[in-house]
Amino acid sequence: TYSKAMINDGASSYKLNQDEVTYIEILELALRFKANDDNALRVQLGESVCNFLDTDRVFNPLSDAYSRIQNFDSDPKAPILYAANAFESFLHQIADKHSISLSGRSGIGQKSDALNKVISKKHRGMIQYISQVRNAADHGADPDENGDIWEVSEATAQLYPIMVASVIKDIVCREDCSKLVV
């Protein structure tokens, strides 16, 4: 659906797009969009941060979240889930760097708490936002809200990956550049 090769008819029903475009042209277009997402993320993070990040576990899923921003209608939670998974992997990367065990810690919030000696209080506060949005998007009924289910707004889905990338960059800058940035 991202490349528009298939059209969503709703209710998980899809049909092939009958445009006069070859599958090779569709694939080229999809690859060009993906390259643009990678470049946008690389520009936002900067080369030194990109070099620090685990490409497979952090950069690529975060870039996928950027790709999902443009396809909000098909799955509004996708940008959040991809970015949150990338961020959780980032926390593991920081823990590994400092030889801190995250065993028995589930979720972004608990992992952030385990890293309180190496991640600043301000950054942990920002991480709480990341954690709360992910939980709202990923965990169904909320017992604190009479069992209601949170909906993901378009604005939240579009801004979340950018916010995650910004917090990653800020934490890496504090780690490697000794700069306090928020």
153: tokens are 């707004």
How does DSSP assign 124-139, residue by residue?
A: HHHHHHHHHHHHHHHS
Specify the pLDDT at position 68. 86
Specify the pLDDT at position 30. 56
Specify the pLDDT at position 73. 66
Which among 62, 61, 80, 60 is positioned nearest to 157, based on CA atoms?
80
Q: State the residue for tokens 């049909």.
A: 15
- Residue 111's alpha-carbon distances to 42, 63, 66, 116, 159, in angstroms, are 26, 22, 24, 9, 23
139: phi then psi, degrees, rounded to nearest 5: -120, 20
Specify the pLDDT at position 86. 98
Q: State the residue for tokens 């000696």.
A: 117
The pTM (predicted TM-score) of the whole model is: 0.77
Specify the pLDDT at position 11. 72
What b/e string do you get for 61-77 counting C-beta neighbours within 10 Å, with b at 16 or more?
bbbbbbbbbebbeeebb
What are the pLDDT tens digits along the chain (182 aa)? 566 667 777 777 777 666 655 656 555 655 566 556 678 888 889 999 999 999 999 999 999 998 888 766 668 899 999 999 999 999 999 999 999 999 999 999 999 999 999 999 999 999 999 999 999 998 878 888 888 988 888 889 989 999 999 999 999 999 877 666 65
DSSP conformational letter for 78: H
